[in-house]
Chains A and B, each alone.
Chain A
Amino acid sequence: MTLMTIITKMAVGLEKTCAIFFLTLLFAIPLGMIVALLRGSKIKIVSWIAKAYISVLRGTPLMLQLIAVTYGPYYLFGISISRNKLIPVVIAFAINYAAYFAEIYRSGIESMPVGQYEAAQVLGYSRIQTFFKIILPQVIRRILPSVTNEIVTLVKDTSMAFTVSYQEMFTIGKQIANSQTSFVPFIVAGVFYYVFNAIVGFVMGRVEKRMNYYKM
């Protein structure tokens, strides 16, 4: 098998890797914000539930969560295992990453000086206006480096989807490596992941620059 065939075959899997990546971000980023806001809630029970959510999802391995989401419904309730593995995979990734994002958001929100809230109040901003117009943009600027970290990890974590037999890029690489008794597919996979993350790093760098306006 030539290098070109290996690359084309793995590129097909890269599409599935990208599907996990983008869908996870699409769901985890807003879900994380919801969890972070609930965690900061003044109602004890609500903040307690959010804390428990974060604690459990950060405290157990992603691999276990993947297995639980994919096979759990079958073992517990006899519901057929989904043929489209993308659904359970994205659910597991999104709930897991939301927990991490929630903590990053919280660190950003809590780092804002109280004086800003007081000043906004004096100027007649409502609480919602204060949050969205003043606090949130600065929070986003502050947490961007940590968020980039998580996103880079996510790119690499996509390979874990093989645990539940989702045929992403690394799985296809392993298949070729086996049938050809060759190490080349692993090198190709490494290059793919590196390039993917280099692009992520570049894009996030640009976003950071654009957000510099909010830097304090």
Chain B
Amino acid sequence: MKKRIIALVLATLIAALTFGLAGCGSKTDDGNTTAAPDASTPAGTTETKTFTMGIDPEYPPFSYLGKDGEYTGFDVEVCKAVCDKLGWEFKVFAVNWDEKLVQLDSNECDCVWSGMTILDSMKEAGYVISRPYFDNEQVLLVKEGSGFASSKDLAGKAVAVQLGTSGESLLNEDLKDLADTFSEVVTCDSFLKCFTELEGNAVDAVFVDRPVADSYVAEHEGFVIIDEDLGAEQYGIAFRSGDRALCAEVEGAIDALVADGTYAKIAAKYEDIDAGNLLFLK
């Protein structure tokens, strides 16, 4: 008798779960979609085109998960405005940053737009890259009071960098001599992990893009940026090799946003992004 009751309870539970999940499933198609007005229509079948931007979800201030649980950031807001302008349905897809181009190729997203540094190797591999939109530099972030004043002081010290970022490429190529003076270059799967490693004393410095460092220093106490420009570079948006027209369309929309002042308005929200470095505003 007891066994039968337990079986009954279990069966009810399983049934409830199955129907419950099925119910959820019909409402949203996956966890990566953000508040799209009509998410139940499958992508591509209706007249409204869906534009999926690929972002690194841990890359403030350009792209990150906001306090309300929705993806936000400078790049995300600009892309949203672009989609509004062009009448596209806007979607966000969080990529695995070290495999972003593979994910772009496999149509998981339509562009990679997330504080992405333009590398020559991307162009050589055939990707369509938009006009650069941001002048970036690489800096070293260290703990306050650690006494490191320049990159030379870090000889024999461990430095963390995010895997797949331009900083990591720089340390492997143009800044190889500097990297060789470090005791170790530790690659992490996100910048937030790099910062955790620094906070927990597992490394002595983090090699990172200036706006990311600025935004981190603004929100966390006890960190300083070594004022030394270690590598100038530019951000761009990557599209698949056949999407030259799409790229032109997006660039055109950004130009329109610049003209009507929306772009500057979005930029004003992000203090950590130096407006002087935003190339579309020049």
Chain A residues with CB under 8 Å of chain B are: 71, 74, 80-83, 85, 162-163, 165, 167, 171, 174-175, 177-181, 183
A183 to B125, CA, bound (A): 11
Q: How far is the CB of B85 from chain A (nearest CB, A)?
A: 31
Q: Name the one of B101, B187, B193, B203 contacting A175, with C-beta atoms under 8 angstroms.
A: B187
Q: Is the interface of A mostly helix, strand, loop or mixed?
A: helix
Q: Which residues of A contact B125 (CB under 8 A)?
A: 181
- A167:B200 contact, CB within 8 angstroms: no
- A171:B196 contact, CB within 8 angstroms: no
- B200:A81 contact, CB within 8 angstroms: yes
Q: Name the one of B99, B160, B189, B200 contacting A74, with C-beta atoms under 8 angstroms.
A: B200
Chain A CB within 8 A of B9 CB: no
Q: Which residues of A contact B101 (CB under 8 A)?
A: 181
Q: Which residues of A contact B99 (CB under 8 A)?
A: 174
Q: Which residues of A contact B122 (CB under 8 A)?
A: 181
Instruction: Using known A-B contacts A81-B202, A83-B158, determine if residue A178 contacts B168 with beta carbons closer than 8 Å.
Output: yes
A180 to B124, CA, bound (A): 10
Nearest CB in chain B to that of A83: its residue: B202
Q: Name the one of A74, A81, A175 contacting B163, with C-beta atoms under 8 angstroms.
A: A175
Q: Name the one of B124, B164, B186 contacting A174, with C-beta atoms under 8 angstroms.
A: B164
Chain A CB within 8 A of B277 CB: no
Q: Which residues of A contact B102 (CB under 8 A)?
A: 183
Nearest CB in chain B to that of A73: its residue: B200
- A80:B200 contact, CB within 8 angstroms: yes
Chain B residues with CB under 8 Å of chain A are: 98-99, 101-102, 119, 121-122, 124-125, 158, 160, 163-164, 168-169, 172-173, 186-189, 193-194, 196-197, 199-203
- B169:A179 contact, CB within 8 angstroms: yes
A71 to B202, CA, bound (A): 10
- A71:B187 contact, CB within 8 angstroms: no
Instruction: Using known A-B contacts A80-B201, A80-B202, determine if residue A181 contacts B124 with beta carbons closer than 8 Å.
Output: yes
- B200:A165 contact, CB within 8 angstroms: no
- A82:B172 contact, CB within 8 angstroms: no
Known: A74-B200, A174-B99. 15 other contacts (CB 8 A): A71-B196, A74-B199, A81-B196, A81-B201, A82-B202, A163-B189, A165-B193, A165-B202, A171-B163, A171-B187, A178-B163, A178-B168, A179-B168, A179-B172, A181-B124
A74 to B201, CA, bound (A): 9
A49 to B79, CA, bound (A): 53
- B173:A179 contact, CB within 8 angstroms: yes
